[in-house]
Chains A and B, each alone.
Chain A
Amino acid sequence: MSEVKPKMDCRNVILHLDDHLDGQLDATQHAAVQEHLERCPQCRRRYQQAAALRAVLRSLPVPAPRPGFVQEALARATLRAQRRAERRSTLGVALAASLVLGVALGMLVAQRPAERPDPVVSLVLEQPEIVRLAFNAARPLTGVTLSLTLPENVEIVGYAGRRELTWQTDLREGVNLLELPLVAYGPTRGELVAHLAHGASSKTFRVKIQTGRAEEAAMPSIRLATS
């Protein structure tokens, strides 16, 4: 004795056709749709067309990105985002200090008199401020290694978690300006150390960084620390 199965009409089959293709029907519904498809040429054609369309969709190719696109896109994104961040970090940001530091690398070793006190910069907590270092070079220098060491709780905007930065740069004769957007995240009384090395010569500059109240740091201070 055979079990009586519910029959589906065309309307019901059409409603279930996508789920049938997706394998989403339970066994009873699946059997009912199959049974209908076997006896209804029109629905069978609909099903075959839908299945053929699915097959064509799945075969649609995606061209590989053109050579170099991945690297270019990443590099462009980095550059654009950093420029935006720089603009944001420097727009309306107070100038905390402008320090002119004399450099005579390659000619003589550091000769800053010991009695001259280190310049002091005061930062307000969590308020980015520009500290401008001007390296005054007596002659052009290529391949100078510049290292910056930051005190505790102080960061350069865009360089989260970095206490040290070292890179190579060229100095032209005269003033070479380095703008540092600094932000203090906690109390500090340390030093920003700028170290320049060129060949066998090197020179170290120290700038005292302290955190203070807003009114203390409101006025930009211009200090000279020439050697």
Chain B
Amino acid sequence: MRKILRLPRSRSAADFESLLRPHVEYLYRLAYRFTGRVEDAEDLVQDLLVKLYPRLHEIETLGQPRPWLARVLYRQFIDMVRRRERSAIDRTGTVSSEDEDDPLAALPADEPAPEEACERSLLQAQVLRALDQLNGEQRAVLTLHDIEGYRLEELEGILETPLGTLKSRLHRARRRLRALLAMEPFAADERVSE
């Protein structure tokens, strides 16, 4: 009976961990913003870290790795969304019977609500539910810009998308969100083509 001796932990493993550790919570935060689910955020970050490991030397050369990391995370997220779409587990745009039973799903009535009531009605849960119905690209630009406060010029690099496209995508995302929340409709002719 032979024993297989294992080599010690490589230095690159220690380097990888010390280099990435300060950014994992940031990546988790973005992943959660993108996906809206703890388990999906964990999966996204985990898969990303596995992919990043062989690129340790590349990451080491980056003075400010976060925009680059955010870009790779975004690509990973879009891949995840497309994989799910292909495997027909697309959750966007569907309302399950569970949702119908949920009192939170009762969005405000069609008539415009008074301002105060509208503000009260914009519960976080409803907004989260509406965000979940945006497509991946819309959700990413909206959460990064409107929630995380990235400027569109910064997002050009992170999302690898031209500024004009980002503007119209953001515009569409907001409009869809407002529609999903049954807010007062904006004019129909405000469409901006992407």
Contacts and interface: CB of A to CB of B under 8 A. Distances in A.
Interface of A: 10-11, 14-15, 17-18, 42, 45-46, 48-50, 52-54, 56-66, 69-70, 73-78, 80-82, 85, 134-135, 146, 156, 158-162, 165-167, 169, 171-172, 174-180
Given A14-B186, A53-B122, A167-B8, A174 B49 contact: no
Contacts of A54: 146
A45 B189 contact: no
Contacts of A134: 2
Interface string B1-23: 11111111011110011001100
B181 to A, nearest CB: 7
A56 B46 contact: no
Interface residues of B, number: 56
A70 B10 CA distance: 20
A52 B52 CA distance: 39
B178 A14 contact: no
A167 B170 CA distance: 54
A41 to B, nearest CB: 10
Given A46-B186, A65-B28, A81-B54, A73 B46 contact: yes
B52 A77 contact: yes
Given A54-B146, A158-B10, A177 B50 contact: no
Contact of B146 (A57, A76, A175): A57
A49 B17 contact: no
A139 to B, nearest CB: 13
A14 B33 CA distance: 27
Interface string B142-153: 110011000000
A177 B124 contact: no
B85 to A, nearest CB: 25
30 contacts: A17-B186, A18-B170, A42-B184, A48-B115, A53-B178, A57-B146, A57-B147, A59-B124, A60-B124, A61-B124, A62-B33, A64-B25, A70-B25, A73-B49, A76-B49, A76-B50, A77-B52, A80-B53, A82-B10, A156-B7, A158-B10, A158-B12, A162-B11, A165-B8, A174-B3, A176-B3, A176-B4, A176-B5, A177-B3, A180-B7
